[in-house]
Chain A
Amino acid sequence: EAGVAQSPRYKIIEKRQSVAFWCNPISGHATLYWYQQILGQGPKLLIQFQNNGVVDDSQLPKDRFSAERLKGVDSTLKIQPAKLEDSAVYLCASSRGQGAHEQYFGPGTRLTVT
């Protein structure tokens, strides 16, 4: 079975620019997550979807970050405008359900904001 796909793998932008990341989860996985991993830290959950609905976005900086999963399959995370502190790896993960179900992670997108 194909894993979680993410693109692009690397992105360099200047501050105040916008950027978008794309994620395609494992087929049949209802739950999709976006995480932010700052260098030297563990991943931090930004937003969780169940099918095409948002389960939790309490840690998403909504003044600049947005995410959508319109058809309950692939998802896009956007940052507009970017700040220097947004430099991080953005990981997408998916799972069959919530709770004890294993999350499968994509390779991530490494964002550098200059």
Chain B
Amino acid sequence: AQSVTQLGSHVSVSEGALVLLRCNYSSSVPPYLFWYVQYPNQGLQLLLKYTSAATLVKGINGFEAEFKKSETSFHLTKPSAHMSDAAEYFCAVSGYLSGSARQLTFGSGTQLTVLP
């Protein structure tokens, strides 16, 4: 079984400020973890992924996330927010829902607002 909890359904930051989006997971197997971004009326786009290599993962658009097994966390950060970062962000864990195939389970999402 697996699950994802994203703390804070809405986060607001000022342009230029630190972005921190929180994600905690549970998984019965070593997890693969993903962050996706969704802009209005679009599908999801992968920002970054952790697949058991380096615990600090760098992604596109200046985002990065750190896998902390002891805290079962995979928080997303960006040092300086830009107006174009305003979107919905989803954390996901890849594990076994049923059968032998890994599948993604998504969190409920965090809407990021960037204030001028």
By a CB distance below 8 angstroms, the chain A residues around B61 are none
Bound-complex Cα distance A50 to B20 (A): 36
Docked complex: B23-78 residues within 8 A CB-CB of A: 32, 34, 36, 41-46, 49, 51
Is there an interface contact between A58 and B101, defined as CB atoms closer than 8 Å?
Answer: no
Is there an interface contact between B97 and A58, defined as CB atoms closer than 8 Å?
Answer: yes
Is there an interface contact between A105 and B102, defined as CB atoms closer than 8 Å?
Answer: no
Grouping DSSP codes into helix (H, G, I), strand (E, B) and loop, the B interface class, with mixed when no group exceeds half, is strand
Q: Are A103 and B45 also in contact (CB < 8 A) when A41-B109, A42-B92, A58-B98 are?
A: no
Docked complex: A17-59 residues within 8 A CB-CB of B: 40-45, 48, 50, 55-56, 58-59
Q: Are A55 and B99 also in contact (CB < 8 A) when A42-B107, A42-B109, A107-B43 are?
A: yes
Interface centre among A41, A55, A93, A99 (most CB of B within 10 A): A99
Number of A-B contacts (CB under 8 A): 70
Q: Name the contact of B106 in the complex, choosing from A44, A48, A100 (C-beta under 8 A).
A: A44
Bound-complex Cα distance A102 to B54 (A): 17
| B106 → chain A closest CB, angstroms | 3
Docked complex: B100-116 residues within 8 A CB-CB of A: 101-109
Bound-complex Cα distance A106 to B45 (A): 9
- Chosen A-B contacts, 12 in total, with CB atoms closer than 8 Å, are A41-B109, A42-B106, A43-B44, A43-B106, A48-B103, A55-B99, A100-B94, A100-B102, A102-B34, A103-B104, A108-B41, A108-B42
By a CB distance below 8 angstroms, the chain B residues around A102 are 34, 46, 49
Is there an interface contact between A100 and B44, defined as CB atoms closer than 8 Å?
Answer: no
Is there an interface contact between A45 and B103, defined as CB atoms closer than 8 Å?
Answer: yes
Is there an interface contact between A99 and B32, defined as CB atoms closer than 8 Å?
Answer: yes
Q: 7 closest A-B pairs (Cβ-Cβ)?
A: A42-B106, A105-B43, A99-B102, A100-B51, A105-B44, A55-B101, A58-B98
Q: Does A91 make an interface contact (CB < 8 A)?
A: yes
Q: Does A73 make an interface contact (CB < 8 A)?
A: no
Q: Name the contact of B43 in the complex, choosing from A45, A48, A91 (C-beta under 8 A).
A: A91
